[in-house]
Chains A and B, each alone.
Chain A
Amino acid sequence: AQSVTQPDIHITVSEGASLELRCNYSYGATPYLFWYVQSPGQGLQLLLKYFSGDTLVQGIKGFEAEFKRSQSSFNLRKPSVHWSDAAEYFCAVGPGGGGNKLTFGTGTQLKVEL
């Protein structure tokens, strides 16, 4: 069965500092990987996705993620955090195909100090 682990429940960074959110997955084949962001009272917004090809993926809002098969990881990074980035971040894995049901991690709550 597929699973996702986000080991950091809460992370606090200063505005302008760099950010890395960790994500480890368990899946039997090449996974489809996603990062979503959720602001309070809102649904999930897709930041970026990895299906195949280049293992460094660029997303919206200046985020990027790197797929490392050997480490079963898909960490999210941003070189300089803005106060508006404060939100909850979810990593998800899916099998691809038409029935692409996603398995989510428990999320990382990001706080940005001004």
Chain B
Amino acid sequence: GAGVSQSPRYKVAKRGQDVALRCDPISGHVSLFWYQQALGQGPEFLTYFQNEAQLDKSGLPSDRFFAERPEGSVSTLKIQRTQQEDSAVYLCASSLGGSNQPQHFGDGTRLSIL
């Protein structure tokens, strides 16, 4: 079956450009998460959606980061005016929701800011 799909797999942008990263969750998964993984580190939580509602965005590092999931399925993470410290792998995960459902991760988007 199809897993979590992220695109693009790799993105190179110049500092100051805007980027958009896409996540297609597993069909039927109501919960969707975004994480940022810096080189040599574990993933760090950015934001969480339940269906189309963004219930937690406490991990977004600045107001340059914005995420949406308008129809409760595909999600987009947008970074405006990118900076070098935004270089990382951005991971998307989805789950069925509920108290004991594990998160299933995509392969991530590796973002490099020059």
| Cβ-defined contact, A101 with B48, below 8 A | yes
Given A101-B48, A104-B44, A107-B42, CB of A32 within 8 Å of CB of B100: yes
In the bound complex, what is the Cα–Cα distance between A90 and B89 (angstroms)?
15
A26 at the interface (CB under 8 A from B): no
User: What's the nearest-Cβ distance from chain A to residue B109, in Å?
Assistant: 10
A101 touches B91 (CB 8 A): no
Q: Within 8 Å CB of B104, what residues of A?
A: 46
Are B33's CB and A96's CB within 8 A?
no
A84 CB–B CB distance under 8 Å: no
Measured CB to CB, the nearest residue on chain A to B55 is A99
| Contact between A100 and B95, CB atoms less than 8 A apart | yes
B98–A98 CB distance below 8 A: yes
Say yes or no for A106: interface residue by CB 8 A criterion: yes
Give Cα A43 to B98, complex, Å.
22
- The interface stretch among A13-21, A34-42, A70-78 is A34-42
Bound together, the chains give a CA A96 to CA B104 distance in angstroms of 15
Q: How far is the CB of A2 from chain B (nearest CB, A)?
A: 11
A97-114: contact bitstring with B at CB < 8 Å (1 yes, 0 no)? 111111111110000000
Is B25 interfacial (CB-CB < 8 Å)? no
Q: How far is the CA of A42 from the CA of B93 in the complex (A)?
A: 13
Closest to B95 in A: A100
Q: Answer whether residue B87 sits at the interface, using C-beta atoms and an 8 A cutoff.
A: no
User: In chain B between 1 and 47, which residues have their CB closer than 8 angstroms to a CB of chain A?
Assistant: 4, 6, 31, 33, 35, 40-45
> How distant is the Cα of A82 from the Cα of B22 in the complex, in angstroms?
35
Q: Quick one: CB contact mask for B61-102 with A, threshold 8 Å, 1 for yes? A: 000000000000000000000000000000101010111111
- Whether A90 touches B43, Cβ cut-off 8 Å, given contacts A44-B91, A98-B98, is yes
Interface, chain B (partner A; CB < 8 A): 4, 6, 31, 33, 35, 40-45, 48, 50, 55-56, 59, 91, 93, 95, 97-108
Listed in ascending order, the chain A residues whose CB lies under 8 Å from chain B are 4, 32, 34, 36, 41-46, 49, 51, 90, 92, 96-107
